[in-house]
Structure 1
Amino acid sequence: MSCCGTGAELEMLAATDPREILLASRPIAGNLRQTDLSVPDVHCGACIHTVEKAIGTLPGVSSARVNLSTRRVTIKWRADIDMPPPFIETLRNVGYEAHLFEVDSDAKDATLSELIRALAVSGFAAGNIMLLSVSVWSGAEPATRDLFHGISALIALPTLLYSGRVFFRSAWQALSHGRTNMDVPISLGVLLAFGMSLYETAIHGPHAYFDASVTLLFFLLIGRTLDHMMRERARVAVKGLARLAARGALVQQADGSQTYLPVAEIKPGMTILLAAGERVPVDSTVAHGLSEIDVSLITGESVPQPAQAGAVLRAGTLNLTGPLTITATAVAGDSFLAEMLRMMEAAEQGRSVYRRIADRAAGLYAPVVHLTAAVTLIGWMFVEGDWHHAITIAVAVLIITCPCALGLAVPMVQVVAARKLFEHGVMIKDGGALERLAEVDTIVFDKTGTLTQGNPRLVNADKFDQATLTLAGTIAAHSRHPFSRALASVALAAQPPIVFDAIAEIPGCGMEARVGGSVLRLGRPEWALDCVAGADIETSSVVLSRDGNRLADFRFEDSLRRGAVESVAELKRDGFAIEVVSGDREAPVRALAGSLGVAAFAGVLPGGKAEHIADLAKAGKKVLMVGDGLNDTPALMAAHASMAPASAADVGRNAADLVFLRDNLEAVPLAIAVAREAQKLVRQNLALAVGYNFIAVPIAILGYVTPLVAAIAMSGSSIVVVANALRLRGRRASVAKPDTNKTNSIAMRMEPAE
């Protein structure tokens, strides 16, 4: 006996090895891990239900979601179990082969190639059989008629075996595992039409329907091919994004040698030599060199940005002018580009209320269709006693009732909407977020980093000695708050460096450090100072204190984010209630809100923001929260829908439903406009799909539809639904164009106006 298996056996062993699954998974929030599997045979609502149910019942699995466009199932499972559940074996047991999902944007579309070949063969055969049928219809002699029927059978049989396998393979796979899918009634209809024709030919009957069975297959393949092509066209944004990922990079080893490694093998801390013209493989920082970087992927700006030592580079951005030595800060799976890809995928597979209704309806159709066809057959046999006519009508019912249009009604709109928003720099993290976003009537903005640029400048640095600035800057370096970054940027490194016994960030308050028995606080005056009586806290933006005693107060200025004035004005014109809810002090918050003409709530702590949104919800309001900081996270999670800029803290970005990449607040009204338009198209598609069945099914039952016409009607309904979804691409959302000069000239001082 050989000690080695075949290549196929080894590949299957590797695919089913739980250690491979564990290595390919990644940790996510909530003590969970996520695994993505490719399931190529998934193609309808019944398939989605079967796969999600099979995986969802495994011990330790939190959720399973199928993306029909990418044939991908995303599984979330508990991280505290030793080995992942048997995902691949479970799917194989219900009739679906699966393997680890890998994005390969350059791979040839094998499914499209197979569909086009099958379409070409069936079209050629249908044309030739139709020519023979014309001769029969024109009054051929019985001997000639039988000859032509026989030739038609010889053409039709290999055509059905080759072109029909697209449907037969899927139907057999379903039936062999005790379930049904959309291809079962289609296959039954095609085979019954061919079987009837073969029987008529064998008994020298006057009528045979080889032309109908092959032409039926031809039109079904037209619908399936167009459906596939439209899906791929709608997903071109995801594929284009995937192409921006580098395949590998030149890594410098500790001994000075250089090795080209695949991007998946690059680890944080590795030194990468990035030549001009190459894309950044993973999130990195510049160690040496000077160049310019094309960051249009992230910001939408075409003007290159300078890169020098210390600059942060995002995966997928392009190095333009000079070589750089960079240090990796994340693995490829955790890079900013990978996060954007995951958000695009999540947008497609999200489960909105409409999609859940459509999926359930599509999943129930198989028994209903078969029962309807059986009752139709029995009814016509009872009325006429003509089994030939009864079977023909039953075949037409089997085909015309296929709910492909219903299954496509919602996901196609979600895919197109996600692409449209991506083109405008907005990423959706959840497909259901579009539906929630379309329902909002109240918008709550954070101030610093959301309505403003979030890049404040320290304006009174000249009032402090370098020791005070260094102390404040060293504390501030442990925080990502905009004020902290501004302080850290003006502080010089201490020699020797200041070492704290402990340091922590208190959300909504500031930074607290302990050294030598003293407590240093950098943050809100009322928190940092033991006694604020008599203290001028209105004119202090940030206070540095030791043991409750003031050491210094720092003041900052910031400018409005580009497009803020125009976007807020447009939202007000559209009837939205607008509020600014900020943890900053009363004077600067009211000054900003007054310039925008909206309501303001100042001095609100993180818990208070969430409570305020909860109060609005109790009053019947559906709130969109737009924020960026750590202190905005509870409010983002509490809101009906939420948005955050790409510059937001990681926890805030993860809590938001949508992330906008560009430094322009026009993303907010644009996202709402697209969401509302998508909701209209979803309702139209559902109405089209349901209306088609209400009209078509009774006509077919009454015998007014042939199997060929049924195939054309069924394929046509799917194409109409997909084409209606694609209309969203051509519609122009109403978004105010920002006046750059105007918005940049507005500087909001973080202190009260005199």
Structure 2
Amino acid sequence: MTAETLVPPRTEPGALPSGGEHVTLDVDGMSCASCVARVEKALGGVTGVREANINLALARADVTLGAGEKVALERLIEAVRDAGYDARARGENAEERAAQREAAELETRARLRRDVLLLVVATVLTLPLVAPMAGMVLGLDWHLPVGVEAVLGTIVQFAVGRRFYVGAWKALRSRSATMDTLVALGTSAAWGFSLYLVLTRGEAARGHLYFEGAAVILTLVLFGKILEARAKASAGDAIRALAALRPQSAVVLEADGEREVPLSALRVGMQVLVVPGGRVPVDGKVISGASEMDEALVTGESAPVAKQAGSRVIEGAINGNGRLVIEVAAVGEDTTVARMIRMVEAAQAGKAPVQRLVDRIAGVFVPAVLGVAVLTFAGWMFAGGGFEQALVACVSVLVIACPCALGLAAPTALLAGTGAAARAGILVRDIEALESLAGADMIVFDKTGTLTLGEPGVVEIRPAQGDEAALVRLAAAVQQGNQHPLARGILADASERGIALPRAADFKVVPGEGVEGTVDGVSVLAGRPEFLAGRGIAIGDAQLADAAATPVAVARDGVFAGLIGLRDVARDSARDALAALAAGGLDTVMLTGDSQPVAEAMAREIGIGDFAARMTPEKKSLRIGKLRRAGHRVAMVGDGINDAPALAAADVGVAMGSGTDVAMETADIALMRSDLGLVPAARDIARRTLGKIRQNLFWAFVYNVVGIPLAAFGLLTPAIAGAAMAMSSVSVVSNSALLARWRPAAKARG
């Protein structure tokens, strides 16, 4: 995923590029699922747009263009405005989007302050209207003059109700209807009927007025909107926390001294200074100095991480007591934090398949409710209930029907769930990844670097002739530049022995087998014994004394030169993580390129019963395909580099890459630190998030299915209907917000 997938570059003035590109708009003014349906319809009607997905919780539109199409950005914004809403393009880089987020948050806080003040005024004006009803319960015969009731009710109707009238008018102009339409019609009917009685009957109208009903509805709906806005804002804390990790400036080391510059001025290769207690401004490599860093907010790792020359550092980490000089490796949109923000935003903007159905229902929900309200009024009149009773039932139907809860059910749960996962160091690419992981019944693990530390050390050297150092020199020389863990182990051994390595020519990696090249004019092969056998090189009965060690066979000019044995160490978290997965009813499998004895020894050590040895990357991919054809839903956990084919072949790929570029760019789910305990934790948050979506949708549907008939049959007053409608949205958002309290059950280390 790149920045361009969010806001594509312009190919000509005012035009967006073609070929299935995406553009993201921030949309203001949406309040319910009917609004979502209207904006999607408006954007989908623009020529050149293939699909438009709207996220109510994020107030965001993701527009996909058709292949070969170009669409003016202004045309998309105009379509949204014609539908009665406002829109603006998201920034093209991290700095612009951060500025937009800050401006939006300031506006949200200002709007909340205004709404709270308006709520106080509305409450003060509404209480005198409901006080006589409370007095009746207590046996007190006290009432307001009807003229005072009319004045108080009118102020509330138009001071608090103004927003609903504006929304209803916008919907009417676009020939549609929303929640604002229902509230405006319902309260206007109650207020208008009451005002008519006051003007025609005077004090004789007492006992037949509904000013208090309209005022209570508007006050409670406003209260619900305030609670909803606060809950939605807290659900977005994850992205705000990530954005806050990015400092505004950095200290650059130059020939003539130090200079503070904005982050936008940094370039790869520059050297920056990080003082004790300072926040790292870039991704990079330590050039000099030693310290410990707090990377908790980036990777979820609570323990300080030691850093020294050569160590990789991540933007946003907090430096300890040491002074560090860092060479810049990535800036701006390419840093780990920037990619994390993009990945979390993309996941939160996704839409569950069930939500697409809900949105289609919402498109006809409000018109259907208007029809039910008309039928309710007609039914009561036909049954002889009288105009007043018919009007009260009609108003109750209009007020209680709430598409808001339907529209917020899935996106708020997704927002909270992916945010909680990100804080724990689990990045989710999209809703499909959550669904696949939650539904998986088998977890397949790579061994090296996943179940083990990926740092095998040399434990045995058996040269066919000559001494050990000569064999190590030959094997290490041809492995230079190879990032395989076994290669790193051999190179580390050569370094410890102080062996000077000649440069290798014609270097070539044979995936899953080994390497070949030319060293000092001699052809050298190093890899699995089967790799040499396939080249016609016989190794005879040579074998390692340690059956659990992985053998690397070396050949020189087509002649077997010896074996080097390496052993890896299982991660401390492996056994507990596997046990947790088994307790959850999942089957676990280990796939490794190692020999059968090595694989068997590791399987016994970590407690995994099913494994397969001598698996090349291609064979791993084929094995996963076979498991899927057998009916399993498979999750593959690997390092994100050598396991790319297997990760792609699985239903969901989980890369445990400690925040590496490849892990976050290729995986469906990326674990930001090498802790196997995050695998069961990821499945847990996936299941909880989908569970919240199901809970929210169930109660949102039940609320409407039960509430509308009760209102139609006159069993609910307008005031009670208004309270129920307000609380329905609040309950959905609050239920989703509970996910923000989720934490991994345990944190094993290593």
Partner of 1:272: 272
User: Given the alignment of the two structures, is residue 98 of structure 1 paired with residue 88 of structure 2, yes or no?
Assistant: yes
Distance 1:532 1:572, change over 3 A: farther
Partner of 2:722: 711
Once the two structures are TM-superposed, the CA of residue 76 in structure 1 deviates from its matched residue by 5.7
**Structure 2 unaligned blocks of 5 or more:** 1-6, 92-96, 545-549
Once the two structures are TM-superposed, the CA of residue 192 in structure 1 deviates from its matched residue by 3.0
- Give the counterpart of 1:46 among 28, 34, 40: 34
Residues 298-326 of structure 1: CA deviation (Å, up to 9, x unaligned): 45444433333322111111122233222
Contact 2:115 2:226 survives alignment (8 Å): no
Q: How does 1:173-192 map to 2 (within 5 A)?
A: 173-192=170-189
User: Given the alignment of the two structures, is residue 647 of structure 1 paired with residue 658 of structure 2, yes or no?
Assistant: yes
Partner of 1:393: 393
- Give the counterpart of 1:580 among 590, 615, 626: 590
- Give the counterpart of 1:589 among 599, 602, 611: 599
Q: Matched residues in 1 for 2:696 and 2:436: separation?
A: 18
- Give the counterpart of 1:561 among 571, 576, 583: 571
The SS at the match of 1:397 is helix
Partner of 2:145: 145
Contact 1:116 1:225 survives alignment (8 Å): no
Partner of 1:225: 226
Residues 647-686 of structure 1: CA deviation (Å, up to 9, x unaligned): 3764454333222223321112222233333344333332
Contact 1:290 1:322 survives alignment (8 Å): yes
Contact 1:628 1:653 survives alignment (8 Å): no
Once the two structures are TM-superposed, the CA of residue 448 in structure 1 deviates from its matched residue by 0.7
Letter of the 1:409 counterpart: A
Q: Matched residues in 1 for 2:8 and 2:574: separation?
A: 50
Letter of the 2:316 counterpart: G
Residues 203-255 of structure 1: CA deviation (Å, up to 9, x unaligned): 345143332222211100111111111122233233222211212212345x6
Q: Matched residues in 2 for 1:672 and 1:339: separation?
A: 22
Q: Matched residues in 2 for 1:25 and 1:668: separation?
A: 43
Q: Greater relative contact order (Cα 8 A, min sep 6): structure 1 or 2?
A: 2
Letter of the 1:450 counterpart: T
Higher deviation after alignment, 437-446 or 459-468? 459-468
Once the two structures are TM-superposed, the CA of residue 114 in structure 1 deviates from its matched residue by 1.9
The SS at the match of 2:293 is strand
Partner of 2:287: 287
Partner of 1:344: 344
Once the two structures are TM-superposed, the CA of residue 698 in structure 1 deviates from its matched residue by 0.6
Matched residue pairs, number? 714
Q: How does 1:511-522 map to 2 (within 5 A)?
A: 511-513=515-517, 521-522=525-526
Q: How does 1:284-433 map to 2 (within 5 A)?
A: 284-384=284-384, 386-433=386-433
Letter of the 2:695 counterpart: Q
Once the two structures are TM-superposed, the CA of residue 451 in structure 1 deviates from its matched residue by 0.8
Contact 1:522 1:542 survives alignment (8 Å): yes
Distance 1:74 1:538, change over 3 A: farther
Q: Matched residues in 2 for 1:673 and 1:713: separation?
A: 32
Q: Matched residues in 2 for 1:466 and 1:33: separation?
A: 56
Contact 1:112 1:228 survives alignment (8 Å): no
Once the two structures are TM-superposed, the CA of residue 551 in structure 1 deviates from its matched residue by 4.9
Q: Matched residues in 1 for 2:227 and 2:310: separation?
A: 50
Higher deviation after alignment, 418-427 or 444-453? 418-427
Letter of the 2:98 counterpart: V
Distance 1:472 1:64, change over 3 A: farther
Residues 19-57 of structure 1: CA deviation (Å, up to 9, x unaligned): 679999999xx9876544322334433343444555566
The SS at the match of 1:630 is coil
Distance 1:472 1:26, change over 3 A: farther
Contact 1:115 1:221 survives alignment (8 Å): no
Letter of the 2:29 counterpart: D
Q: Matched residues in 1 for 2:590 and 2:541: separation?
A: 24
Once the two structures are TM-superposed, the CA of residue 709 in structure 1 deviates from its matched residue by 1.3
Letter of the 1:414 counterpart: L
Q: Matched residues in 2 for 1:371 and 1:476: separation?
A: 75
Q: Matched residues in 2 for 1:593 and 1:23: separation?
A: 60
Partner of 2:111: 114
User: Given the alignment of the two structures, is residue 172 of structure 1 paired with residue 169 of structure 2, yes or no?
Assistant: yes
Q: How does 1:385-534 map to 2 (within 5 A)?
A: 386-460=386-460, 469=472, 472-473=475-476, 475-491=478-494, 498=503, 500=505, 503-513=507-517, 521-528=525-532, 530-534=535-539
Partner of 1:212: 213
Once the two structures are TM-superposed, the CA of residue 62 in structure 1 deviates from its matched residue by 6.9
Q: Matched residues in 2 for 1:660 and 1:629: separation?
A: 10
Once the two structures are TM-superposed, the CA of residue 565 in structure 1 deviates from its matched residue by 0.9
Contact 1:673 1:734 survives alignment (8 Å): no
The SS at the match of 2:330 is coil
Once the two structures are TM-superposed, the CA of residue 687 in structure 1 deviates from its matched residue by 2.3
Partner of 1:632: 643
User: Given the alignment of the two structures, is residue 247 of structure 1 paired with residue 248 of structure 2, yes or no?
Assistant: yes
Q: How well do the aligned residues superpose, as a CA RMSD in angstroms?
A: 3.9
TM-score of the aligned structures, taking structure 2 as reference length: 0.84
- Give the counterpart of 1:69 among 57, 77, 83: 57
Distance 1:563 1:363, change over 3 A: farther
Once the two structures are TM-superposed, the CA of residue 690 in structure 1 deviates from its matched residue by 1.8
Letter of the 2:627 counterpart: L
Q: Matched residues in 1 for 2:389 and 2:433: separation?
A: 50
Q: Matched residues in 1 for 2:227 and 2:256: separation?
A: 54
The SS at the match of 1:329 is strand
Once the two structures are TM-superposed, the CA of residue 591 in structure 1 deviates from its matched residue by 1.5
Contact 1:263 1:332 survives alignment (8 Å): yes
Once the two structures are TM-superposed, the CA of residue 710 in structure 1 deviates from its matched residue by 1.1
**Structure 1 unaligned blocks of 5 or more:** 1-16, 745-754
Once the two structures are TM-superposed, the CA of residue 287 in structure 1 deviates from its matched residue by 2.4
Partner of 1:200: 197
Q: Matched residues in 1 for 2:742 and 2:444: separation?
A: 27
Distance 1:566 1:149, change over 3 A: closer
Letter of the 1:555 counterpart: G
Residues 2-32 of structure 1: CA deviation (Å, up to 9, x unaligned): xxxxxxxxxxxxxxx99679999999xx987
Letter of the 1:541 counterpart: P
Q: Matched residues in 1 for 2:654 and 2:479: separation?
A: 26
Letter of the 1:508 counterpart: G
- Give the counterpart of 1:127 among 124, 142, 167: 124
User: Given the alignment of the two structures, is residue 697 of structure 1 paired with residue 708 of structure 2, yes or no?
Assistant: yes
TM-score of the aligned structures, taking structure 1 as reference length: 0.83
Letter of the 1:145 counterpart: P
Q: Matched residues in 1 for 2:587 and 2:265: separation?
A: 50
The SS at the match of 2:223 is helix
Q: Matched residues in 1 for 2:676 and 2:107: separation?
A: 42
Contact 1:22 1:83 survives alignment (8 Å): no
Contact 2:249 2:263 survives alignment (8 Å): yes
Higher deviation after alignment, 161-170 or 76-85? 76-85
Partner of 1:667: 678
Letter of the 1:227 counterpart: E
The SS at the match of 2:251 is strand
Once the two structures are TM-superposed, the CA of residue 277 in structure 1 deviates from its matched residue by 2.0
